[in-house]
Amino acid sequence: MKFSLYPPFAGIALVVLAGALGAEPATNPDAPAPPPELEAVLPLDELRLFVEVFDRIRTAYVEPVDDAQLLQEAIRGMLSGLDPHSTFLDAEQFEALETGTSGEFGGIGIEIGLEDGFIKIISPMDDTPAMRAGVQPGDLILKIDQQPTKGMGLAEAVDLLRGEVGSRVTLTLLREGTDQPLDVVLERAAIKVPSIKAEVLEPGFGYLRIAQFQTRTAKDLATELHKLGEAAELRGLVLDLRNNPGGLLRSAVEVTDLFLDQGLIVYTDGRLPESKLRYQASPETAVPDLPLVVLINGGSASAAEIVAGALQDHRRALLVGTRSFGKGSVQTVLPLTEDRAVKLTTALYFTPSGRSIQAQGIDPDIQVRRAEIKPLQDEPGSYRESDLSGHLENGAAGKTRTPVAAAAISDYQLQEALNLLKGIAVFNRPRTTGE
């Protein structure tokens, strides 16, 4: 609704604001009453209350406050009260958002959110100061350089976390399962987040990690898939989405499309007509039949959950790990001026089967928690048939099946994913019969 359609309200608004600025009283008994339909649409009593509070702050606060700053903070408060992801972006934050989606920015390398008034780490990013210092998903930031974060907005926290390359910042963290805060000193760096990491775990078994969904993620992933296929005939692939904080919705759709040749990938639903979108897979796909295991955990959020949910619904991949973060909302950046904008939650997204991920997350098909596994030696004194005196020889020597070599992987969840892929590969290979 535009104010220009209701001239009486425009007059009332000017009178109210003028009272706040001291030019006229906040109320005017001679002013015409607003039309009944306007009273039902806009809470005029609350608007008058806002102006009254604004005026009290300007005249009674212990220090002078700039009017423009006060109004801007009021806007921030209005948005922060909606949900943890809606916010006002000033010029610096607007630029930082655009830089972040391109894959290069400054800081310590963490994705953060809000929980119970505290700053919560969604995930540390690969090869960043935060990752190297052992920061974990779910850690609560109690203080930043001894400044308490209780009640602090995300924008303010980001400002404190960023700084000159080489400078240091101290985070006071509270980790789940502990009752003693932990101080971690991090040295800020120029964060360049490579979207894709690829390697061969064992002959025939590839590994692809997506750290964040950026503009070129799908193209880079297709390139790395091609390289892995050239290096060896792939029998299985692990797609690692752990600690992936998300990123661009379009990028998540394009990545999922690499593994699907038909069907719905994701759909969004909101109040605006343009927020009701459906994304379908195209017939072309990079690896339509390759066995696929997807790793997820509590740091897998947003776009990462779109990919995991779609592949799970289409039974295209087995999900291994722990429940994902549960961010199922879509934020739209709405420019206000050339250098300021509002990031507003405008829709929820749903998996192909209609599941909402919001505050629920994606449950893996096989739950595997982080763990440290140490191999045990064979029991002393153990024997096999071949150790017995006078045992019969094997008449079919040379026809034994050679086991697949075990990879030396310290990552337990990844090791289990690889073992699962091996099992699928063994189960799917052609049957052999005796002669």
Domain boundaries, the chain: 3-65, 104-192, 196-367
- Is 327 a residue of the active site? yes
Q: Closest Cα to residue 205, out of 409, 364, 432, 367?
A: 409
* Local confidence band at 26 (pLDDT 50, 70, 90 cut-offs): very low
Catalytic residue among 327, 329, 343, 422: 327
Category of 321 on φ-ψ map: left (φ > 0), alpha (ψ -120 to 50) or beta: left
Fold entry, domain 104-192: Pdz3 Domain (2.30.42)
Catalytic residue among 86, 195, 313, 343: 313
pLDDT over 90 (residue 292): yes
Residue-wise pLDDT tens digits, 333-373: 899 998 999 999 999 999 999 999 999 999 999 999 988 77
Residue-wise pLDDT tens digits, 145-163: 999 999 888 878 988 998 8
Catalytic residue among 302, 324, 329, 343: 302
Non-local CB neighbours of 373 within 8 Å, separated by 6+ positions = 412, 415
CB 323 within 8 A of CB 349: no
Residue-wise pLDDT tens digits, 231-257: 878 999 999 999 898 988 999 999 999
- Indicate the angle between helix axes 67-80 and 44-60, nearest 10 degrees: 130
Q: Closest Cα to residue 124, out of 109, 114, 144, 113?
A: 109
Q: What are residue 216's DSSP bridge partners?
A: none
Category of 190 on φ-ψ map: left (φ > 0), alpha (ψ -120 to 50) or beta: beta
DSSP state of 274: G
360: its two tokens? 């629920």
Place of tokens 């009453």: 33
Same fold, 104-192 and 196-367: no
196-367 under CATH 3.40.50.300, yes or no: no
Is pLDDT larger for residue 364 or for residue 193? 364
- Indicate the angle between helix axes 44-60 and 7-21, nearest 10 degrees: 20
Q: What is the Cα–Cα distance from 139 to 119, expressed in whole angstroms? A: 9
Which stretches does DSSP call E strand in 211-328? 236-240, 264-270, 277-280, 292-296, 318-321
pLDDT over 50 (residue 5): no
| Structure confidence at residue 230 (pLDDT) | 87
- Is 192 a residue of the active site? no
CB 93 within 8 A of CB 72: no
| Structure confidence at residue 99 (pLDDT) | 61
Mean pLDDT of the region 294-319: 96
